[in-house]
Amino acid sequence: MSPVYRRRGKNWYTAMGALFLIMAGIVLVRQIILWSPDFVLEFLLNSDITNEKISIGMIGFGVFMIVMGFRKGHDEAR
């Protein structure tokens, strides 16, 4: 383990962020396979709340969680 980057990214925030990104990716790929890219794009752009829009929100939240996990903390080695 490097003394400079002590446990960088190995925390709860990064793990949950990765989980959100993976789940959102699975949902979007599944929708593209079941329907087609044209229908998925139409679902993203219409005014209804759809599964695709929730997935985009999950991607945003997952990126936010990963950024929170990688922010610099001032934890001193004991």
pLDDT of 70: 85
| In contact, 62 and 20? CB cutoff 8 Å | yes
pLDDT of 77: 53
Which of 65, 59, 75 has its CA nearest to residue 13? 65
Which of 54, 43, 45 has its CA nearest to residue 20? 54
pLDDT tens for 20-72 read: 999 999 999 999 999 999 998 998 899 999 999 999 999 999 999 999 988 86
pTM of the model: 0.76
Regarding predicted confidence, which is higher, 1 or 58? 58
Q: Is the pLDDT of residue 73 over 80?
A: no
